[in-house]
Structures are given as C-alpha cells and as structure tokens.
Amino acid sequence: MPPKTVSKPTPIAIEITPSVAPSLESCSIKKEGNPLVEDVKKADEKTIIGTFRGNITKVTVHLDNTASIDLYSIRGGQGHTFRVKEEKGLVYDAVNLKDLTLTDLKKGNTVTMSFNCFPAQRDLFRITRISVTGRM
C-alpha cells in the first residue's frame, strides 16, 4: 500500500481593521453601537453619567483590593473587562437590598454598573456602583 500524501492547508490572509469606536471607559462613550451601554447622558457641563448592563462571565479579585470583572452584554455582541477598586458601598445586592463586596460577585450575576466620567479631568472614568440585579 503506497504511503498517504498529506497536503498542507493554504494560508488565508486575514485583514484586521482597527476599531475606531471610542473606548467604553472614556467620556466620548455612546449608547449607539454599544450593547453594554444601557444609558449615557450629560449630568452637567463637567460630568457624563451612565450605566452598563450585562452578565458577569468572570471575576478575578486581586491582592491590591481590586477586581477585574468581565462583563458581556445581555443583548449579546459586546464584552469588556472593567478593573475596579474595592470601596464601601460600591457593590450592592438590589434583590436582597444589602451591601456586598467584590468577592461576592460571581460568574452568572446580572449587574448594572453606574459610572461617572469627567472630560475636564483627562477623561477620568469611574465606576461608582455595581448593582447585582439577578442571575443569568
């Protein structure tokens, strides 16, 4: 029996187009085209406020009292990793009406993350509240 001939696959060229969408953690954020963004508006001349809504797909709590939270939009199509610092009142259980900590956040939680952004302060972006509203 003659040996089998294995053909090598032909390489395929992939064109990568850089994203021109503004970062989710900047003051130029828009609701349009961002399924994670539930609301965004100008609170006053110095402050942009808004909310993200999604399901937590991963939480990594770090030794420096911060956490990386992978959030994926409920409508699908967009995910983002947020890095937040633990502080009193940051995480709230909106179902059982009690304060939580970053270590209480779990994969599968549905959350609403409120944010403030200050354009005059070099786009200072801050998550101000993480409300756990349910499970996926």
Would you say residue 51 lies in a domain? yes
> What is the C-alpha separation between 42 and 72, in angstroms, rounded?
24
Is residue 24 in a domain?
no
Q: Which pair of structure tokens corresponds to residue 51? A: 């909310």
Indicate whether 22 pLDDT > 80.
no
User: Based on the number of CB atoms within 10 Å of its own CB, is 45 exposed (0-12), middle (13-18) or buried (19 or more)?
Assistant: exposed
**73 within some domain:** yes
Q: Give the CATH number for residue 51.
A: 2.40.50.140
Quick check: is 116 in a domain? Answer: yes
Q: Round the CA-based radius of gyration of the chain to a whole number and report it.
A: 20
Which range, of 23-32, 43-52, 80-89, averages the lowest pLDDT? 23-32
Q: How many domains does the chain have?
A: 1
136 pLDDT above the threshold of 70: no
Chain Cα centroid distance, residue 134: 17
Query: Would you say residue 32 lies in a domain?
Result: no
Q: What is the pLDDT of residues 92-117, one digit of tens each?
A: 999 999 999 999 999 999 999 999 99
Q: Which are the contacts of 23, defined by CB distance < 8 A and separation ≥ 6?
A: 29
Residue 74 placed within a domain: yes
Q: How many CB atoms lie within 10 A of CB 18?
A: 5
Q: What is the pTM of this model?
A: 0.81
| CB of 51 closer than 8 Å to CB of 94 | no
Range of the domain at 75: 40-135
Parallel, antiparallel or unpaired: strands 37-44 and 91-93: unpaired
Is 96 domain-assigned? yes
Cβ pair 35, 78 in contact under 8 A: yes
Note the pLDDT tens digit of each residue in 74-86: 988 899 999 999 9
For residue 8, the tally of other CB atoms under 10 A from its CB is 5
